[in-house]
Amino acid sequence: MIILGISAFYHDSAAAILVDGDIVSAVQEERLTRKKHDAGFPAKAISCALCEAGIKLQDVDYIVFYDKPSLKFERILKTYLTNVPRGFRSFRIGMPPWLRQKLFLKRVILKELKNSFGEVFKNPIVFTEHHFSHAASAFYPSPFQEAVVLTVDGVGERATTTVAIGKGNKLDIVKEIHFPHSLGLLYSAFTHYTGFRVNSGEYKVMGLAPYGEPKYKDLILEKLIDVKEDGSFRLDQSYFNYMTGRTMTNKKFSDLFGHPVRKPDSEPLTQFHMDIAASIQAVVEEILLQMTRDLATEYKIPNLCLAGGVALNCVANGKILRDKAFKDIWIQPAAGDAGGALGAALAIWYSKLNKPKKIYCSDLMKGCYLGPKFSNDEIEQQLSEVGAVFETVSDSELIKKTVKQLIDNKAVGWFQGRMEFGPRALGNRSILGDPRSVDMQRILNLKVKFRESFRPFAPSVLREDVNTWFEIDYDSPYMSIVADVQKNIRCKISESEKSLFGIKKLNVKRSELPAVTHVDYSARVQTVHQDTNPLYYALITEFKRITGHPVLVNTSFNIRGEPIVCTPLDAFKCFMGTKIEFLVMGNCIVDKKHQKNYLEN
């Protein structure tokens, strides 16, 4: 039984393939079209996922789309009715695509498949609810037989927050909070207010928060949102504009905080914006903690699964874990809409076809390495075609040479095995560095990423050693949990260093691992496991043998504004367009100083 799950037409289109319940492949369209957050029909992702699974489109028994357009349309109509006479402009612009395309999605999918694959798909095309797809993506691959499943995002059809109970192969949504009341949209409103792009800049607000004080937390809780004891909430819509307008917030919102919306190009970030970021982060954390505590008491189930865009807030996830209301938590790594494709496919297998949920000691995501892989022959061929100078070495030599470069404070492009699914690079499409280096943060940002980042890079640490270096002793293979560095490796900060402002604070050495330590001593930890990524595990083990530190800096292999690299050619182009000094792809090593200069263009 082969099931193809699709998410598309809003943001982060993706395709996922299940073969007899086994997650065989999952790919985001952006990686293949090279268009960040590509929301188009995922024709390339489908083709790639099918190819990875070694099957043809006609072998697929079910295609499932991750939400139900008719329910969404109903919510949109209700929104217009509620807001008359406001919203005419939005109606005029928003309605035609619905009537032309979005409402008749089955027809659109068939047409797109015919265009891309030249054949008519004859088997069923079905739809699952948006939040059910998220809940399924969180529960079914989790290692739990029973769990409370919380999904929190901007909005699906109507729901913005849902609670489901998963038991065996049964998953039932039991309660919901509906649009326009949404934690995701509240966070996005502040993302807009602080001058970042909605739907992609939220992580910047999270990264900015540790520089500020949550001075406006009480004001937000008093004016913008009414939160009940159980964590359920409603937003005061008189401050927001997202129901009918083209912006997230209105003048009343700006007046409440005494500043206009920051203009991203001309207005610098000030302490005010940092305090605002700290405040909304604190509010969201408090609400999520209230919610999870109440759910733990109500359902008396020790396990919690999380998904939805808000579950990408790894700072909040860390607090939920440390709060211990639930004994164990598992977070879908592709928590955003891309993961909906996988969830939709899982929903059909377990819920519709009633197949039993198997339980293993770990989850079913295979380390999230679900994308395309390239053999050494393919890598060599692609490198030769562009005239790259490279050498092919054995596995052990590969590791020794890479570690030497890392110790020499070089930025290393590391391209191995199957590409990751979801927003994070987890050691197969990564740029690596030495976390002990005080300069590494700056080197990677300015020479490789061409940006300034509020957040330091993430540490990849051997699972066995995580608790020696970080205040966490828990699996975090998908970089979805933030924890503090251990107190014994922290450095004393002088008064003059304390008084630094903004990003300058980040350059102060705060721990033995300065490149991965944030200004509040937090780090977005990735635990590396031998069973899911043996080569990366071996690399960090060798780095530990020589330096005593079982940690590497891991940042995604891309430059600002581009998706993470997918093919060896993407990686080589990124390598040549940046100051990455050393590129390791499969068993091929490419040293920048041996490349002909003209290739740099």
Half-sphere exposure of 174 (CA within 13 A, CB side): 14
CA distance linking residue 307 with residue 323, whole number of Å: 18
Which phi and psi angles does 153 have, rounded to 5°? Answer: -150, -165
Minimal distance in Å, beta carbon 87 to other proteins? Answer: 9
Among candidates 584, 592, 590, which has minimal Cα distance to 402?
A: 584
Structure tokens at 268: 């610098």
Nearer to other proteins, 3 or 295 (CB): 295
Minimal distance in Å, beta carbon 143 to other proteins? Answer: 26
Minimal distance in Å, beta carbon 428 to other proteins? Answer: 38
Minimal distance in Å, beta carbon 163 to other proteins? Answer: 7
Minimal distance in Å, beta carbon 278 to other proteins? Answer: 25
Minimal distance in Å, beta carbon 80 to other proteins? Answer: 6
Nearer to other proteins, 133 or 558 (CB): 133
Minimal distance in Å, beta carbon 232 to other proteins? Answer: 4
Give SS3 for 364.
coil
Q: How far is CA 277 from CA 162, 205, 210, 369, 510, in A?
A: 25, 5, 8, 33, 22
Which phi and psi angles does 166 have, rounded to 5°? Answer: -105, 130
Minimal distance in Å, beta carbon 85 to other proteins? Answer: 6
Minimal distance in Å, beta carbon 205 to other proteins? Answer: 24
Structure tokens at 359: 């339980």
∠190-192-194 over CA atoms, to 5°? 70
Nearer to other proteins, 87 or 333 (CB): 87
Minimal distance in Å, beta carbon 436 to other proteins? Answer: 48
Nearer to other proteins, 78 or 560 (CB): 78
Nearer to other proteins, 173 or 493 (CB): 173
Nearer to other proteins, 180 or 210 (CB): 180
For residues 552 and 406, the answer to whether their CB atoms sit within 8 Å is yes
Minimal distance in Å, beta carbon 306 to other proteins? Answer: 17
Nearer to other proteins, 110 or 173 (CB): 173
∠8-12-15 over CA atoms, to 5°? 60
Nearer to other proteins, 290 or 416 (CB): 290
For residues 273 and 208, the answer to whether their CB atoms sit within 8 Å is yes
Nearer to other proteins, 350 or 470 (CB): 350
Minimal distance in Å, beta carbon 173 to other proteins? Answer: 5
CA distance linking residue 249 with residue 261, whole number of Å: 9
For residues 334 and 423, the answer to whether their CB atoms sit within 8 Å is yes
Nearer to other proteins, 91 or 117 (CB): 91
Q: Which residues sit opposite 294 in a β-bridge?
A: none
Minimal distance in Å, beta carbon 179 to other proteins? Answer: 7
Among candidates 418, 358, 362, which has minimal Cα distance to 49?
A: 418
Buried residues in 341-371 as b, exposed as e (16+ CB within 10 A): bbbbbbbbbbbeeebebeeeeebbbbbbbbb
Structure tokens at 404: 């030497």
Minimal distance in Å, beta carbon 161 to other proteins? Answer: 9
For residues 41 and 63, the answer to whether their CB atoms sit within 8 Å is no
CA distance linking residue 441 with residue 453, whole number of Å: 9
Q: Which residues sit opposite 149 in a β-bridge?
A: 164, 305
Nearer to other proteins, 123 or 237 (CB): 237
Among candidates 444, 478, 401, which has minimal Cα distance to 553?
A: 444
Q: How far is CA 532 from CA 369, 463, 527, 529, 563, in A?
A: 8, 12, 11, 6, 23
Nearer to other proteins, 139 or 543 (CB): 139
Nearer to other proteins, 112 or 157 (CB): 157
Nearer to other proteins, 96 or 264 (CB): 96
Residues that bind other proteins (CB under 8 A): 77-85, 88, 91-92, 95-96, 162-163, 172-181, 226, 228-230, 232-234, 236-237
> Long-range contact list for 461-465, CB < 8 A, 24+ apart?
461/525, 461/526, 461/527, 461/528, 461/540, 461/550, 461/551, 462/527, 462/528, 462/537, 462/540, 462/541, 462/544, 462/550, 463/527, 463/528, 463/529, 464/550, 465/544, 465/550, 465/551
Minimal distance in Å, beta carbon 220 to other proteins? Answer: 14
* Token pair 């503090």: residue: 484
Nearer to other proteins, 176 or 471 (CB): 176
Looking at the chain, the number of H-run helices and the number of E-run strands are 20, 21
Q: Specify the pairing of strand 429-433 against strand 481-484.
A: unpaired
